[in-house]
Structure 1
Amino acid sequence: MIELYYVSGSPYSWRVMLTAEVKGVPYTPHVLQLSKGEHRSPEFLKMNPRGREPLLKDGDFVVTESLAMMIYIDRQSDRTPLFGTDTTSTVRVFEGLSQVLFDCEKATLLLAEPTLYRSPNADPSEAIRKAGEKLRAELKIMDERLGEAPWLVGEAISAADIAALPLIMTIVRAAGKDVAKDLDLGLIPLDARFPNVAAWVKRMEALPGYERTVPPHWREE
């Protein structure tokens, strides 16, 4: 059986877990505690010398990048093809994925860094404002796209949706922190600012197995 080493709340780990749930592929979870340095243990570094999460292990086969893990899991089941069914649809999926990974993800990390992981001695206001500006532009594009189709690349859920969802949830969480909320970034509430994105989030949350992927500590906040 597939083993997944992951960090709770990491968008990279979350997208892999959600892929497995959507595909109905079972896996054994191993939660990594970064505070304990488990990602830097000799055992883990032997599998991934970079010490990054997530990590997928299937027998002797090890995968260390989340997109590659998504592809590997997708190939394990015929249920709900996530990477297209022909040349055109596959190209569209990877086009959407590229936009998520290289545009939305970068902007999300710019917001997450000063809100969720910031130094207590630094004033993050300017960095947060700049991140908010970039994310408003990204979410506007996404909202327009989702006004034309139920999913990011058309009429069926794809890997682009799976990769995007954890980023959107991270944006909502980060924008809701006091240090960001007081700046009125124009990102939340989603249903008022970006209604099509908000409706898409509800469709994603209704997916079978979604609840099992939600970071437990996020529920407690």
Structure 2
Amino acid sequence: MDSKAHKNNIEESPMKLQLYSSYISPPSFSVRIALNLKGLDYDYITVSFRKGDQRNQEFLMMNPMGYVPTLKNGDMVVAESSAILMYLEEKYPQHPLLPQDLEKKTINYQAINIVASSMQPILRIPVLSYIRDNVGPDESIDWAHRHLKKGFAALEKLLKDHVGTYATGDEIFLADVFLAPYLIGYPERYNFDLSGFLILSKLRDVYLMVPAIQNAMPEKQPDFPV
């Protein structure tokens, strides 16, 4: 192989994605699901909150909020799960995460926003830890239950006329990518009874059988405590 051909091969070889992640982060869980669905290989880079990695200047240069996940693709850095997922959808069209049908797409957008805007910010670990430490442990559980119930009730109502095998039909889309971490992790973590939400309970059972979700589970990640 001549030097020019060798150079072209190097230039054309895609760089491996790097995901700055934590096993305990639901938004990181969502991004791992999307990467798996799209068949994208990536390096998992642990951000340990116990060790304070989120406060390292190098990490804060990439994500000024000090949150995970953060995705690096060559010189491109994308912080925050919603932005990462939209970037992946634009950059890697294989296994589309949004339906072509406008009504179904709009339902996905609404479900995404219920999770990302109305539930995720007030159920973040720093928020619940602050309530636990400054108000009391029982109050942090009550807080989690109150907002899980409100968010899940809204999702149950939104999806009732659109649910199929998955949240918005018989294909797995972005609504499922956002929902799965909350339906799988939060009921167990906060002893929340999901049985009153028939649609979401059914979806949880389905999600647990999806390989892309199974491989993204917290216990499958390299930083999961053993």
TM bin (shorter chain): 0.7 to 0.9
The one of 81, 89, 114 equivalent to 1:74 is 89
Q: 1:210 to 1:135 in 2, by over 3 A?
A: closer
The Cα of 1:107 is off from its aligned counterpart by 5.5
Task: Determine the structure 1 residue equivalent to 2:108.
Answer: 93
1:133 has 2:136 as partner? no
1:26 has 2:29 as partner? no
Alignment TM-score, normalising by the size of structure 1: 0.77
Deviations along 1:199-219, one digit per CA (max 9) or x if unpaired, are 201211222232221112898
Task: State which drifts further: 137-146 or 23-32.
Answer: 137-146
Gaps of 5+ in 2: 1-15
- Provide runs of 4+ in structure 1 moved above 6 Å: 217-221
Instruction: Give 1:25-174 correspondences, 5 Å limit.
Output: 25-106=40-121, 108-109=123-124, 113=128, 118-119=132-133, 122-148=135-161, 149-150=163-164, 151-174=166-189
Task: State which drifts further: 59-68 or 164-173.
Answer: 164-173
Residue pair 2:109, 2:175 contacting (<8 A) in 1 also: yes
- Larger Rg: 1 or 2? 2
The one of 198, 202, 213 equivalent to 2:201 is 198
Deviations along 1:3-54, one digit per CA (max 9) or x if unpaired, are 1011111011111111111111111111111222222223222323332221
Task: Determine the structure 2 residue equivalent to 1:215.
Answer: 218
Deviations along 1:110-167, one digit per CA (max 9) or x if unpaired, are 9x8159x832x75233453344234223323434555541233344322121112212
Between the aligned partners of 1:49 and 1:132, the Cα distance in structure 2 is 30
Gaps of 5+ in 1: 177-186
Percentage of matched positions with identical amino acids: 25
Between the aligned partners of 2:124 and 2:74, the Cα distance in structure 1 is 33
Alignment TM-score, normalising by the size of structure 2: 0.76
Between the aligned partners of 2:118 and 2:169, the Cα distance in structure 1 is 19
Matched residue count? 207
The Cα of 1:172 is off from its aligned counterpart by 1.1
Task: Determine the structure 1 residue equivalent to 2:30.
Answer: 15
- CA RMSD across the alignment: 3.1
Residue pair 1:22, 1:207 contacting (<8 A) in 2 also: no
